[in-house]
Amino acid sequence: MPELPEVETVRRGLAPVMEGAVIAQADVNRPDLRWPFPKNMANRLTGKRVLGLRRRSKYILADLDSDETLLIHLGMSGRMLVSGDPLGQFVHNHPAPEKHDHVVINMDNGARITFNDPRRFGAMDMFATKEADIHPLLSSLGPEPLGNLFNEDYLTSALANRNSPMKSALLDQKIIAGLGNIYVCEALFRSKIHPTRPAKKVSKTRIARLVPIIRDVLSDAIAAGGSSLRDFRQADGELGYFQHSFDVYGREADPCRTSGCGSTIRRIVQSGRSTFYCPSCQR
């Protein structure tokens, strides 16, 4: 499932053709994905100007001049692909319709945004913009790891009484919004923290080092266009490239890249998810 860097990459790809433009026509080609589409969604989108695109955790939020917001979740295999871009950033002509093109948004500037989702685990919703903070999917999220509210003092306090493994604690969206399996593994490796260590036993000094490392891992991934492991594509259809920079994720039995380490990467399962780490570097 796309994590924060992938969603942010898609948001940045959509912004040049959607922000400030009017939705000339929206077509909804099925009644539901992960859950039913909002009532009259196509009509509620058509004719509305997109005031701005923002991201909250793993959700893209499009604020409209109707005082409503369109929420987009990519799910396991969802893609937001742009074609016919008049700004010249996307060279693709409008493609022929495909079986899993579930929502098609035509902008008044000639751009088309197609939401394609073969597995149908993605989702869309619409709600009053002023009610974003109380939306069921957004209300309990923790601070953004790239935002000012995420800092050493906050994370130290949030983990102080957590007996769960460090890996599990960092994946808790109520503690940090948007972090997923890939980037937690990479951040724990860079910070030399063992994924099974109880969160409350990680020292304040090590947490202080972890905070900027989390930011760096996410920023590096965004700069590389995210990670393409299976289905993820950027808005222009291109792959992300951060998977080529993984230190531990997906590298079970490969040698650790730390100079002089000599150990190999191991994989364990925590809460049904694969965790990759170096047993020598991470303590």
Looking at the annotation, which residues are catalytic?
2-3, 58, 273
Which of 230, 159, 153 has its CA nearest to residue 188?
Answer: 159
Please answer whether residues 74 and 180 qualify as being in contact, where contact means their C-beta atoms are separated by less than 8 angstroms.
no
Please answer whether residues 23 and 246 qualify as being in contact, where contact means their C-beta atoms are separated by less than 8 angstroms.
no
**Residue 215, strand partner residues:** none
Owner of token pair 């939020």: 61
Q: Who contacts 82 (Cβ-Cβ below 8 Å, separation ≥6)?
A: 13, 14, 17, 90, 92, 111, 112, 113, 235, 236
- What distance in Å separates the CA atoms of residue 269 and residue 111, rounded to the nearest whole number? 43
- What distance in Å separates the CA atoms of residue 125 and residue 63, rounded to the nearest whole number? 12
Q: What number of other Cβ atoms are within 10 A of residue 197's Cβ?
A: 17
Q: Is 85 helix (H, G, I), strand (E, B) or coil?
A: coil
- Exposed e or buried b per residue across 111-138, where buried means at least 16 C-beta atoms within 10 angstroms of its C-beta: bbbbbbbbebebbbbbbebeebeebebb
